[in-house]
């Protein structure tokens, strides 16, 4: 039983090594230049990918590329402004190097027409901008956002800065030191405060204007 396992393992190793050697022998250096179909100019920085293995490279500024592939693999060429194209490496190659000149077709996009009307001068633009009537919706939205309630709501959410917090803390400490050891002041029980309130009420100072 052990001899059978040893024989099978040896055959598997030999077969794997033979397959790997065959694949290694089939590798070729695939090179080429990418040019545009309309002007024959080089196609710079295009993506060149072997669809079979997922490996690839990128063409340089002059449109040249070179990488290792195998006969029969499908090569994809993709570049910005050009249609995606493919090329199948011949499977009857006898040499280890193969070069091509691949022509790529421009991908033209037709955009809708846009008319641009320039202002004759800066003065006319400034006058047109000043005399422009704002939209009613924008005006109402601005008035609503600048109302007293909106500003008060926003102000309540804005945190105080360091100086205001420091002054408030100083006032609280000063008040605590002032009333330390005695009953805190309550203006509801202060006769002088009540006298000022009654006099102001008699003089009509509390009426709304």
What total number of domains does the chain contain? 2
Q: What is the domain extent for residue 66?
A: 26-104
Q: How are beta strands 47-50 and 74-78 bridged, if at all?
A: antiparallel
* Tens-place pLDDT, residues 153-188: 877 777 777 787 888 888 888 877 777 777 766 767
Q: What is the pLDDT of residues 94-139, one digit of tens each?
A: 889 999 999 999 988 777 888 877 767 888 888 877 877 666 677 7
Distance CA 55, CA 73 (A): 11
Q: Note whether 118 and 91 are same-domain residues.
A: no
Residues 119 and 94 in one domain: no
As to burial, measured by CB atoms within 10 angstroms (0-12 exposed, 13-18 middle, 19+ buried), residue 41 is exposed
- Report yes or no: 50 and 69 within 8 Å, Cβ to Cβ: yes
Q: Are 97 and 116 within one domain?
A: no
Domain end, chosen from 104, 138, 158, is at 104
74 Cβ contact list (under 8 Å, min separation 6): 50, 51, 52, 86, 87, 88, 89
**Pairing assessment for the beta strands 74-78 and 85-88 based on DSSP bridges:** antiparallel
Quote the pTM value: 0.44
Report CA dihedral (135, 141, 146, 150) to the nearest 10 degrees.
180
Residue 21 lies in a domain: no
Of 32, 81, 40, nearest to 57 (Cα)? Answer: 32
């Amino acid at each position: 039983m052990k001899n059978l396992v040893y024989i099978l393992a040896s055959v598997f190793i030999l077969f794997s090594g033979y397959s790997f050697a065959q694949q290694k022998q089939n590798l070729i250096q695939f090179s080429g230049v990418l040019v545009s179909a309309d002007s024959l100019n080089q196609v710079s920085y295009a993506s060149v990918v072997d669809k079979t293995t997922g490996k690839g490279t990128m063409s340089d500024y002059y449109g040249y590329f070179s990488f290792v592939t195998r006969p029969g693999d499908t090569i994809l060429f993709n570049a910005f402004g050009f249609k995606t194209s493919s090329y199948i490496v011949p499977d009857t190659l006898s040499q280890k190097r193969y070069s091509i000149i691949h022509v790529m077709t421009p991908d033209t996009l037709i955009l809708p027409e846009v008319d641009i009307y320039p202002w004759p001068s800066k003065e006319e633009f400034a006058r047109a901008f000043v005399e422009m009537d704002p939209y009613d919706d924008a005006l109402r939205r601005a008035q609503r956002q600048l109302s007293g309630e909106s500003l008060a709501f926003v102000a309540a959410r804005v945190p105080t800065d360091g100086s205001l917090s420091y002054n408030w803390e100083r006032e609280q400490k000063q008040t605590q030191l002032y009333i330390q050891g005695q009953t805190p002041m309550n203006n509801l029980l202060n006769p002088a405060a009540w006298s000022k309130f009654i006099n102001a009420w008699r003089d009509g100072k509390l009426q709304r204007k």
